[in-house]
Amino acid sequence: MTHQTEDLKNNSVGLALADTEWQDNHYGAMQPEYEDMLRWVGIQPGWKVLDAACGAGGFLPLMAELVGPAGEVHAIDLDPQVVEVVNQRFAKGNSLAPVSARVGDLLKLPYDDSTFDVAWCANASAYLTDDQCWQMLRELKRVVRPGGLVAIKEYDATGCQYQPCPPTLWLRFFEAFSRSSNPQLASINRDTRLGEWLRAVGLVDTCQRPTLMVRFQPLRDVERQFIRDLLRWKAGHAAGFELPAEDREIWVNLADVDAHDHILNHPDFQYRAIQTVFVGRVPPK
């Protein structure tokens, strides 16, 4: 993996897969499903919404649309450079609701109790240890009013496929990833436990909605770029894992994303991923 690729994926605080260009491509490649997931949460006109760990802000325009002129959209992210990008994108005031971003930590949200009607957090829990994830959930619950909603969207590693590669290739990769000493994304297999954890921190009326996302030929440019970068990033990690020899050979080929015979150019190529939204309600007083 080249230094340029690593820079593309890491933001200014060193988080993997968090650079604004990467996030813009990711959101653009999956925008129809992502917007459908956010709409499903049930955000209402006039609500005050928090996007916790907003990244490049892909969800913010739809949030502003959903709450309308009587609502407010607030966002936090750990990366000051990302926050600056988000505020620049909304500086002209051309969204349907006011949108503002600030630097903030998921483990110590800079807001008073019961500030928001709903808190949304997408693809952030995988960066946290189990103890930190519990703290994040408690903080999200704290800043949402009684009767309000906490929504978590997260990636399900067990649903990942790049066909026509052998389907077990990805299971062995993620198994090795979860055993690695890499502190980032080591909790990428947590998705299936989040509903239980929402109830454990005291949220009620919990529900979940998994979404299967499939991309196949012909790929749009943004889809190809997203999958291309993701494969190169994964191949860079696979090179350091203890994997069967046949897996290593496949990963070497997957890393060469510019090769004419790369899987991205296969007529039967498919990318499959599952992401799930978990929603819980803060108990009314």
Q: 105-116: per-residue pLDDT in tens? A: 999 999 999 999
User: Quick one: which of 275, 134, 280, 115 has its CA closest to 211?
Assistant: 275
Give the list of residues 6+ apart from residue 48 with CB closer than 8 angstroms, or none.
67, 71, 72, 74, 115, 116, 117
- H helices of 143-242, in order, are 168-179, 194-200, 221-238
| CB 185 within 8 Å of CB 154 | no
Q: Whole-model pTM?
A: 0.90
pLDDT of 72 above 80:
yes
Residue 4's pLDDT band (cuts 50, 70, 90): very low
C-alpha 218/C-alpha 178 separation (Å) is 33
**Secondary structure class of 74 (helix, strand, coil):** strand
Residues 6 or more apart whose Cβ sits within 8 Å of residue 228 = 257, 264
DSSP 8-state assignment for residue 284: P
Q: What are phi and psi of 261, to 5 degrees?
A: -95, 20
Pick the more confident residue, 18 or 149.
149
Per-residue model confidence (pLDDT) at position 5: 43
Order of strands, edge to edge, in the sheet holding 270-281? 99-103, 72-77, 48-52, 116-122, 144-163, 270-281, 204-216
Topology annotation, domain 3-281: Rossmann fold (3.40.50)
User: For residue 159, what pLDDT band results from cuts at 50, 70 and 90?
Assistant: confident
